[in-house]
Amino acid sequence: MDLSQSLVQNRLLAALPVAEFERLSPHLELVEMPLGEVLREAGGTQAYVYFPATSIVSLFYVLEDGASTEIAIVGNIGIVGLWLFLGGEAAPSSAVVRSAGYGYRIKADLLKDEFSRGGALLQLLLRFAQAMLTQTSQIAVCNRYHSVEQQLCRWLLLSLDRLPSDDLAITHELIASMLGVRREGVTEAAGNLQRAGLISYSRGHIQVLDRAGLEKLACECYAVVKAEYQRMITDIATGDPAHVLG
């Protein structure tokens, strides 16, 4: 894989100035991120920080009775391991790959050293932290007040924003676990969307056929989260990722 083409697929890496990127690039390792891989257990430490490129990572919380719910998703606009830079040595949530692909990893201690320099990386991660706080708080509101169908639309749209295609490999059971609802509710909601011609579902794959239609059905939560991430991207972007690689 051509380095100049792959690294820029993660927007945070692409936004780093040349000097900071060149300090980090020898330590960035391209890795496969298969479906279901656990990057971090709840309460555990994390030796590596991950920059997803074509994969999506779910951050979720598991209760004592085994019930779980997704509290945030991280894709090519972010980093898995943000808590390391906010003063924590252990995170209360687990991090699991829920859409297979690849990404980059770097030893956590190396990235913490770069963060301590107080340069562009610090500013990027603080902006990403604000976007993540918006996402987690909006998901909490959405799960409390909106229908399963609206939640599913929001979930699909946020996933599409972080993937290079309109096809997601995922089951109704896994979606239900992420949303913290019953599988039957997801099956009914997905059936409604399929009958409306918005998605196509078969054998663990969901293909979005009408994104505009999904956006009309989604609650305002998707628009709020999208706007915050777009604001972050606008703040950091130069319009040409080639500046990273010279």
What pLDDT is stored for residue 236 in this prediction?
64
DSSP per residue, 141-203: HHHHHS-HHHHHHHHHHHHHTTSSSSEEE--HHHHHHHHTS-HHHHHHHHHHHHHTTSEEEET
Q: Which two tokens stand for residue 113?
A: 């050293």
Spatial distance between the Cα atoms of 39 and 60, rounded to a whole number of angstroms: 12
What pLDDT is stored for residue 7 in this prediction?
58
Measured in degrees and rounded to the nearest 5, phi and psi for residue 44 equal -95, 170
Written as tens digits, the pLDDT of the chain (246 aa) is 444 445 568 988 888 888 888 889 899 999 999 988 999 988 888 899 999 999 999 998 888 887 788 999 999 989 999 888 877 667 778 999 988 899 999 999 999 998 888 888 998 899 999 999 999 999 999 988 999 999 999 999 999 898 877 888 888 888 888 888 898 999 999 999 999 999 998 878 899 999 999 999 999 999 999 999 888 877 765 444 433 333
Domains in the chain with CATH codes: 3-117 (2.60.120.10), 144-222 (1.10.10.10)
Task: With H, G, I as helix, E, B as strand and everything else as coil, classify residue 53.
Answer: coil
Q: Find the radius of gyration of the CA atoms of the chain.
A: 18
By the 10 Å C-beta count (0-12 exposed, 13-18 middle, 19+ buried), 152 is classed as buried
Spatial distance between the Cα atoms of 157 and 214, rounded to a whole number of angstroms: 8
- Helices H, strands E: what count in the chain? 11, 10
Spatial distance between the Cα atoms of 162 and 72, rounded to a whole number of angstroms: 12
Spatial distance between the Cα atoms of 132 and 127, rounded to a whole number of angstroms: 9
Task: With H, G, I as helix, E, B as strand and everything else as coil, classify residue 55.
Answer: coil
Spatial distance between the Cα atoms of 4 and 14, rounded to a whole number of angstroms: 10
pTM of the model: 0.86
